[in-house]
Amino acid sequence: MTALGVAAAVAAGERTARSVAEDYLDRIGAGDGEIGAFNLVLTKEALADADRVDAALGRGEPVGPLAGVPVALKDNLCTRGIPTTCSSRMLEGWRPPYSATVVERLRAAGAVIVGKTNLDEFAMGSSTENSAFGPTRNPHDTSRVPGGSSGGSAAAVAAGFAALALGSDTGGSIRQPAALCGVVGMKPTYGRVSRYGLIAFASSLDQIGPFGATVADAAAGYEAIAGHDPLDSTLIDQPPEPIGDALTDGVEGLRVGVVAELCGGGRQEAHLAGTDGSAASGVEGVAGDVLSRVQDAAEALEQAGAEVRTVSVPSAVLGLSAYYLITSAEASSNLARYDGVRYGLQVDGANAAEMNVNTRTAGFGAEVKRRIMLGTYALSAGYYDAFYSKALRVRTLMLAEFAAVYEDVDVLLCPTAPTTAFELGAKTADPLLMYLNDVCTIPSNLTGHPAISVPYGRGDDGLPVGVQVMGPALSERLIFRVAAALERAAPGDGSTA
């Protein structure tokens, strides 16, 4: 059942929130041993939440639009009194004294929180293999990764462990796992959803967004969490537009651009261009089966009345390099606070400095350490201009180029990820190869624009393919509308596992 189906049934008294919660908890109990979507299942809390919803309904009180909907939370969202780990040893034993704004909003909307989901440690990764608690597996094929970093949330929705889930997206961490798990995943405009209570990876790009089995579910999740919050000063001071009827509006007359540089055209091999302009070699571009599905999607939109053309955003190929400099720089600062002094892991030392080193050495995994070192280097005296400052200029350039393209088209279309879900361990030995997973999703983070991944058919291996719809700032209504049209046109083999 969809999230909106659950909410309607609960509100109408056809189901109790408790019976819904029990069903989902049973499914988790039976299936999550194999998938590993959850770091923590909140059985007691979920049933208590569900009982509160039922009691409110019994008293005839109004319940929210997500009444009784079981929701999974990525485990980098703070939950009051409940362990929040970022899938890192570093936060072992820490219980936040407060909840993230999005968690408060979901509860206010009547949602039932069923658990905290696995992620790449501190959201750094594209496969959910960089977790201190072991990997999450793809419900479509458990030998494959679910993508990442919000792999646990994507897998939870795909496996029917939750009707909705929240993830965070810094470079594609919602959209790429959504694509690999065959669900809908959406990253709102930067500043649309409060980051208060989201444990930061790269503050200038991090944004919380929903996963749903359908576009309508994802839209309902988005509507529940978007909007002003006095605790986050980077929010946009303008109320969000409701999505509502946009989903049935169709795409008649819309101008859709297919981004050449993100569709195997252009200089795919230059994604990891060095600072001297030389290209890294031996990296793969977008797989043929994925490109075919994007082509199918473009044709479907054309048939539905949209005007489709190919457009060029040359700076898109620089995104990956700029992204890894900016996010690593910010992360090196954001993760400095894990020093063993106040909370989480503490490994003793002869003095404070030594304790700090010992704690961080033991507490962080290899990928986190790699990014902290990269970011520290990029911000260092003498290197700042060559790396961090240059990356910021790429970001500015990219904003200008996207703004120019949006003069000519309303939305952009491209693959979400270069391939379908890959085997566990396939890319762990080669960080650069892993980083390439985000090549199509990163531009929206650098520009702060919204984007959504929708399942569209299957790859040659029978695994789900996601196509990505991108729009200019604050175009949530528009991209949900296009995504809904794609969902209606998609080959009807069912996208969830």
29: left (phi over 0), alpha (psi -120 to 50) or beta: alpha
Q: Which of 10, 42, 82, 91 binds another protein (CB under 8 A)?
A: 91
Q: How far is the CB of 198 from another protein (least distance, A)?
A: 6
Q: Which is the catalytic residue, given 99, 126, 173, 453?
A: 173
Q: How far is the CB of 137 from another protein (least distance, A)?
A: 27
**Short-list 390, 234, 397, CA closest to 325:** 390
Q: Does 225 bind another protein (CB under 8 A)?
A: no
Q: Which of 33, 245, 281, 342 binds another protein (CB under 8 A)?
A: 342
Has 203 been annotated as catalytic?
no
One-letter amino acid at 469 equals V
Q: Does 96 bind another protein (CB under 8 A)?
A: yes
> Which residue lies nearer to another protein by CB, 86 or 111?
86
Q: Does 233 bind another protein (CB under 8 A)?
A: yes
Q: Does 231 bind another protein (CB under 8 A)?
A: yes
The neighbouring-strand residues paired with 184 are 212
Q: Does 195 bind another protein (CB under 8 A)?
A: yes
Q: Does 330 bind another protein (CB under 8 A)?
A: yes
Q: Does 203 bind another protein (CB under 8 A)?
A: yes
Q: How far is the CB of 343 from another protein (least distance, A)?
A: 7
Distance CA 2, CA 172 (A): 24
Q: Are 215 and 184 in contact (CB under 8 A)?
A: yes
Q: Does 204 bind another protein (CB under 8 A)?
A: yes
> Which residue lies nearer to another protein by CB, 234 or 248?
234
Contacts of 312 (CB under 8 A, 6+ apart): 259, 260, 261, 266, 405
DSSP secondary structure letters along 236-302 = -SSPPPP-GGGGGS--TT-EEEEEGGGTT-S-GGGGG--TTSPPP-S-----HHHHHHHHHHHHHHH
Residue window 454-483: x/- pattern of binding to another protein, with contact defined by CB under 8 A: ------------------------------
Binders in 382-411 for another protein, by CB under 8 A: 384, 388
Has 149 been annotated as catalytic?
yes
| Sign of the dihedral defined by the CA atoms of residues 342, 348, 352, 355, in that order | negative
Site of tokens 């009444």: 67
Sheet holding 464-470, edge to edge: 38-41, 112-117, 70-74, 164-169, 207-212, 184-187, 451-458, 464-470, 411-415, 255-259, 307-311
Q: Which is the catalytic residue, given 99, 126, 131, 149?
A: 149
Distance CA 366, CA 373 (A): 11
Site of tokens 């909106």: 4
- Taking CB under 8 A as the binding criterion, the range among 45-53, 302-310, 338-346, 395-403 that sits at the site for another protein is 338-346
> Which residue lies nearer to another protein by CB, 41 or 329?
329
Query: Which helix (H) or strand (E) segment is 319 a member of?
Result: helix 319-334
Q: Are 220 and 186 in contact (CB under 8 A)?
A: no
Binders in 358-387 for another protein, by CB under 8 A: 376, 379-381, 384
Interface with another protein (CB under 8 A), residue total: 44
Site of tokens 């594209």: 126
Q: Which of 48, 108, 352, 366 binds another protein (CB under 8 A)?
A: 352
Looking at the annotation, which residues are catalytic?
Answer: 74, 149, 173
- The residues that touch another protein, with contacts defined as CB under 8 A, are 76-78, 84, 86, 91, 94, 96-98, 100, 195-200, 202-204, 230-234, 329-330, 332-333, 336-337, 339, 341-343, 352-353, 356, 376, 379-381, 384, 388
